[in-house]
Amino acid sequence: MECKEIRELLSAYIDGEVTDKEKGQVERHLQSCAECREAYEQYIDMGAVLKTLPFLEPDTSLKEKVKEKIKPQKGFIKRVIWTEWLAAAVTVVLIFTLGVAVSAGLSGVSLFSVKSEEQRAVSKDFTGAVANGAGGEQGAPEVVEKRPAVYVPTNAGQLPGSRDMETSAAAGERKIIKTASGKLTVKTLEDFDRWLNLELKNVSGYIKYSREEKESRYVTLMIPADKLNSFVDSLKKQGELENYSENAEDVTKAYRDMEIRIKNLESEIVAVRSLLAKAQKIEEIMAVRAELNRLTEELEITKASFDDLKQNVSYSTFNLTVVKEKEAQIGEDSIFKNLGKKVKEQFVKAFNNFFTVLIKLFFLIIYLLPYIILLLIVVPLGYYLIKKKQNK
């Protein structure tokens, strides 16, 4: 190793900042190189004098001067920082408010989008596919079949407006068939039966189908469409209503078609009747009668279907499963019931919320980007100016 390299190591060697290997190298070199040995001694001597350099005294005590500065200095710094930061904060708020106002004014952009009326209105045309109460479907499949082809209600006389076709088919009125289903858990089935009879009388509804088992009931109820909601409200007071679903089907077109068809049939019958009066030959009379019979029969069938449809429109079908509450058991109805499921649900909810917030934050940041950039320029500039002022 050359002397020049060794000298640097030598310096570190004096300060005890070398590795064992380097120490060995230096010591070996020193034994063989007189020049480096001399330098080494000079370094040591210099160090000795440097260590004994006297500490010098200032003219006046620094103590008092520093003490004086500590108090006002601290206050001054704090004051400067406070006023500057306050100014910065006010500026930011102003810029932000201005920005929001301008952007809202110019483009109608708003941070929180408002749903339009059309969006908010619930579509009435939704169809099928809503899960019915599982118990009800499995227990009584025939109940699910909503509209038997020919059905004449036993108490047809009660049907509102069934006689007056003209009024019931007021123009523009939507014809909706509502179907609801649910599962109710009650304390005693007897109480429920009693309540159901009373309530049906109240709302002028009736039982279309009913199946009784030891611990459960499967009923298909016909409830006047306008009273379905109040019926459900009342039902909820009887026990715990689960899996409640409502399904609405728009049958306006079918309704109108059938109305027109009935009118046509009726006018045709009138026309055929007048033909019958004119008919003179036996064969003619027979033919016209046969036609009249066919038309009358068709009219009756159509009317029956129409009544059925009207029935379904004015009466909502409610497939209800009623079960008796199980005897209380340890763990039942406690927070530990379905604990795993609940935990999972909460977990999923929490994560959904988390990501929703994250995404919203992301959009907020993007929205605020121009102001952030402005801030990034203004704040360091202010900081730099303060620094400069302090240094002065």
Contacts of range 142-149, beta carbons closer than 8 Å, 24 or more positions apart: 142/209, 143/209, 143/211, 143/218, 143/220, 143/319, 144/319, 146/177, 146/179, 146/312, 146/317, 147/308, 147/312, 148/308
- Quick check: 126 and 178 in contact, CB under 8 A? no
Task: Please give the structure tokens belonging to residue 369.
Answer: 């980007």
Measured from the CB of residue 119, what is the shortest distance to other proteins in angstroms?
A: 57
Q: Which is nearer to other proteins, 60 or 329 (CB)?
A: 60
Measured from the CB of residue 85, what is the shortest distance to other proteins in angstroms?
A: 18
Which residues contact other proteins by CB under 8 A?
7-8, 10-12, 15, 17, 39, 42-43, 46-47, 49-63, 65-67, 69-70, 73
Contact partners, residue 105, CB within 8 Å, separation at least 6: none
Measured from the CB of residue 383, what is the shortest distance to other proteins in angstroms?
A: 17
- Quick check: 317 and 249 in contact, CB under 8 A? no
Measured from the CB of residue 387, what is the shortest distance to other proteins in angstroms?
A: 12
Q: Which is nearer to other proteins, 58 or 105 (CB)?
A: 58
Q: Name residue 316's beta-bridge partners.
A: 223
Q: Which is nearer to other proteins, 5 or 226 (CB)?
A: 5
List phi, psi (to 5°) of 391.
Answer: -65, -30
Q: Which is nearer to other proteins, 49 or 335 (CB)?
A: 49
Measured from the CB of residue 64, what is the shortest distance to other proteins in angstroms?
A: 8
Q: Which is nearer to other proteins, 6 or 323 (CB)?
A: 6
Measured from the CB of residue 15, what is the shortest distance to other proteins in angstroms?
A: 6
Q: Count CA within 13 A, CB hemisphere, residue 218.
A: 14
Report how far residue 235's alpha carbon sits from residue 216's, in angstroms, rounded to the nearest whole number.
16
Measured from the CB of residue 391, what is the shortest distance to other proteins in angstroms?
A: 8
Strands 240-250 vs 315-324: parallel, antiparallel or unpaired: unpaired
Q: Where are the alpha helices (DSSP H) in 204-333?
A: 228-236, 252-278, 282-314
Q: Which is nearer to other proteins, 8 or 145 (CB)?
A: 8
Q: Which is nearer to other proteins, 52 or 123 (CB)?
A: 52
